[in-house]
Amino acid sequence: MAYTLSKWDLSEIAPKSGAEQEIGRICVSLEKERKNLKDLSPKRFLGLMRNLEELKKKASKLGGHAHLRFMENSADQKASADLSRLQMFLTQIDNRLLFISLWFKDLSDDAAEKYLAVSGKYRYYLEQVRQTRQYTLSEKEEFISNVLHASGISSLTTVFNMLTSQFMYDIDGKALTHNEVMERFRDNDPKVRETAYLTLLTKYEGYKDVIGEIYRATCNTWREENIGIRKYKSPISVRNVMNDIPDEAIETLLSVCQKNEHLFHRFFALKQKELGLKRMRRFDIYAPLKEERKGILYDEAVRLVLETFTEFSPDFGRLAKEVIEKKHVHSIITKNKHTGAFCAGLATDVLPYVLLNYVGSLRDVETLSHELGHAVHYGLAAQETEFTQDACLPLAETASIFGEMLLTEQMKKRYPKEARIMIFSKIDEMYATIIRQAGFVIFEKKAHDMIAKGSTIDEMSDEYLRLLKKQLGPGIEIDPLFRYEWSYVPHIFHTPFYCYAYAFGNLFVLALYARYKKEGQPFAQKIITLLSRGGSASPADIAKEVGIDISKASFWQDGFKIIEGMIDELGKK
């Protein structure tokens, strides 16, 4: 069959008549258990957990369908209204059932162990519930928090999505989308790159007050609830607890990333020489070494990715193919569609949905590989519970980045004359996904502190520019407009401190990939087993299964040694 650009088919998750009523009925049955909690038997407790899991599955599909409809067309008022209504409905369901998790958190260790001992596949999830008990509020307070999130900060991020997804950019008399402008960041012509960056950044500068206030509200809400009320140690600790990773491990990761910025200063100098540029500007760091291969048909891209995945593991290839052939991919560009790309895993019994904006570049092929890697990860972990299928953020990038590494190796074999160019391109990506992403988190830490002290958005943007100059080194000229670059990074708004997951995931994958290249197919099965765990254990425990200790700076440094070796190879010419 030929693979063509198309919209996704959401019929598999389209809500059936009475879907909300069915969720309501399950909720009522669970509410009836409140009176039995004092003397709940282990057997009845397992029944309660199964009902909770079934409710979560149905709610995820219902909310996911509304979310995907909105993301394919943010200007669709019906889709927007449905999403808002369902978010409130599902928040109300969550609030009605808050008593269950609060009851379980409040149990003594001995009483909880009675249930943990028989919990089987639910054990890690339940242990995680109890791990956050020191940050948990009363039932009424948690109820209010959930309502305010759904009607407040969640609505603001929806406004951010609506505003930025409808931005159009006038370049050479053409109205371009965000993705079409970003494609020009990698154009062979320096002037095209400069114009693209300045056009996009000027748009965000024009909306800096509105976007800045959205971000200020995000930071203030995050701080006042999590630090002021819940008593987390710091803004980033909230994310670390969610990811079940010690603060010290992430601080070590960020520190090692900063210490290795100099490797990329050297790389940029090599790239400047390769490009024959008299000066290296921020506009130029992603410049291709020659006219980038464009116009790659979607069919060609899909076949290349499927071939690559299948060669590594039949399970990898099979799951990726199913996602495509079941029409779970929205690849064609349409008006008011969400920019960028993502993979949405909704439930263990339905394959994930992938959104792309495919225009035919090599980067688009890599993005296809990346998002299908996420889909494969979800598929492999479908054996887990609804609570533990989804890996925590840092490990959630493992399959996607590993898929990219496999694709790069495959393309070097297919196009040996372009191998050097591909190495340059891969190090470009390593800068973008390790140093740059760690830099966003370092900025977020600073921004949260600055906003708490009353700093203005302009002062915060100036700080971003200062950090960016340090990150890129003295050899890179940076236009002042780049002070607003942070404001088009959606994760900073949607999921504070998310971005360290990319640095974590990339360095983690470099270690895995080195082991795979050394040990071959026997180690491939270990990777499949690791991915199949989903989020059923802590990242540290899952990493230990393949011999990795994430608390040690030496582990993260080993990843940079691989990058350094690649830069050394380029420098030999």
Fold match between domain 11-156 and domain 167-268+278-290+429-494: no
CA 332 – CA 8 distance, rounded (Å)? 9
Q: Is the dihedral of CA 37, 38, 39, 45 positive or negative?
A: positive
The two beta strands, 342-344 and 353-355, are antiparallel
Q: What is the pLDDT of residues 80-104, one digit of tens each?
A: 999 999 999 999 999 999 999 999 9
pLDDT attached to residue 238: 95
Please report the pLDDT score of residue 295 as a whole number. 80
pLDDT at 56 over 80: yes
Q: Give pLDDT, residue 151.
A: 66
Answer whether residue 20 shows pLDDT above 60.
Answer: yes
CB neighbours of residue 528 within 10 Å: 17
pLDDT at 292: 56
At residue 547 the predicted structure's pLDDT band, cuts being 50, 70 and 90, is confident
The mean pLDDT value for 44-50 works out to 96
* Banded model confidence at residue 548, pLDDT cuts 50, 70, 90: confident
How large is the average pLDDT for residues 402-419?
82
Say if residue 518's pLDDT is above 90: no
Range of weakest confidence among 242-256, 282-296, 348-362, 516-530: 282-296
Which of 13-17, 24-28, 277-281, 339-343 shows the lowest per-residue confidence on average (mean pLDDT)? 339-343
Quick: pLDDT tens for 164-215.
Answer: 988 999 999 999 989 899 989 999 999 999 999 999 999 999 999 999 999 9
- For the chain, what are the domain ranges? 11-156, 167-268+278-290+429-494
Domain 11-156 CATH class label: mainly alpha
Predicted local distance difference test score (pLDDT) of residue 511: 83
Q: How confident is the model at residue 572 (pLDDT cuts 50, 70, 90)?
A: confident
Average pLDDT over residues 55-77: 96
- pLDDT of 550 over the 90 cut: no
Q: What is the 3-state secondary structure (H, E, C) of 465-525?
A: HHHHHHHHCCCEECCHHHHHHHHHCHHHHHCCCCCHHHHHHHHHHHHHHHHHHHHCHHHHH
Q: How far apart are CA 263 and CA 251, in angstroms?
A: 20
CATH of 167-268+278-290+429-494, one of 3.30.1330.30, 2.40.110.10, 1.10.1370.20, 3.30.420.40: 1.10.1370.20
Please give the Cα distance from 402 to 370 (Å, whole number): 8
Closest CA to 491 of 341, 375, 282: 341
